[in-house]
Amino acid sequence: MGRIVCKFGGSSLAGVEEFRRVKEIVEKDPQRTIVVVSAPGKSPEEPFKVTDMLLMCAQLASAGFRFDEIFEQIAERFKMLCKELDLSLDINTLLQEVYDHIVSGENSASCASRGEYLCAKVMSDYLGWPFVDAADLFVFSSEGEINEEESLRRINKRLTTMERAVVPGFCGALSDGRLTTFHRGGSDITGSFLAVGTKADLYENWTDVPGLLMADPKIVENPMPMRHMTYPELRELSYMGAKVLQEDAVFPLARAGIPLQIRSTLLPDNPGTLIAENGVQSGIVTGIAVKKDFRVFTLEKTKMREDRGFLRKLLSVFESNKVTVEGTPSGIDSVSVIVSEEQISGKLDKILEEIRMYCHPQRLTTQPGLALVVVVGRGMIRTKGVAAKLFTSLAQADINIRMISQGSSELSILVGVENEDANRAVAALYQTFKGE
Q: Is the pLDDT of residue 241 over 70?
A: no
Are 35 and 126 in a shared domain?
yes
Provide the pLDDT confidence category of residue 161 given band limits of 50, 70 and 90. Answer: very high
pLDDT mean over 19-39: 97
Q: Is 76 exposed, middle or buried (0-12, 13-18, 19+ CB in 10 A)?
A: exposed
Residue 261 resides in a domain: no
Residue 152 resides in a domain: yes
Are 331 and 203 in a shared domain?
no
CA 357 to CA 359: how far, in whole Å?
Answer: 6
Are residues 232 and 287 in contact, defined by beta-carbon separation less than 8 angstroms? no
Q: What is the pLDDT of residue 265?
A: 94
Q: How many CA atoms lie within 13 A of 83 on its CB side?
A: 7
**Segment 303-328, tens digit of pLDDT:** 887 888 899 999 999 999 999 998 88
Q: What is the pLDDT of residue 387?
A: 86
Provide the pLDDT confidence category of residue 149 given band limits of 50, 70 and 90. Answer: very high
Are 184 and 306 in a shared domain?
no
Are 150 and 48 in a shared domain?
yes
Are 197 and 292 in a shared domain?
no
**Segment 362-379, tens digit of pLDDT:** 999 999 999 999 999 887
Q: Is the pLDDT of residue 99 over 80?
A: yes
Residue 131 resides in a domain: yes
**Segment 122-148, tens digit of pLDDT:** 999 999 999 999 999 999 988 878 999
pLDDT mean over 393-414: 85
Residue 400's CATH number:
3.30.2130.10
Residue 268 resides in a domain: no
Other Cβ atoms closer than 10 A to 104: 10
Are 199 and 295 in a shared domain?
no
The residue type found at 239 is Y
**Segment 66-87, tens digit of pLDDT:** 999 999 999 999 999 999 999 9
Helix, strand, coil percentages (3-state) for the chain, rounded to 5, are: 40, 20, 35
Q: Is the pLDDT of residue 278 over 80?
A: no
Are 197 and 327 in a shared domain?
no
Which range marks the domain in which residue 318 is found?
A: 287-433
Within 8 A by CB and 6+ apart from 367, the residues are 295, 296, 298, 402
pTM of the model: 0.85
Residue 214 resides in a domain: no
Residue 375 resides in a domain: yes
pLDDT over 70, % of the chain: 96
Provide the pLDDT confidence category of residue 186 given band limits of 50, 70 and 90. Answer: confident
Q: What is the pLDDT of residue 408?
A: 60
**Domain end among 208, 227, 260:** 208
Q: What is the pLDDT of residue 85?
A: 97
**Number of separate domains in the chain:** 2
Are 37 and 180 in a shared domain?
yes
Tell me what the pLDDT averaged over the chain comes to. 91
Provide the pLDDT confidence category of residue 1 given band limits of 50, 70 and 90. Answer: low
Residue 321 resides in a domain: yes
Residue 12's CATH number:
3.40.1160.10
**Domain end among 180, 208, 236:** 208
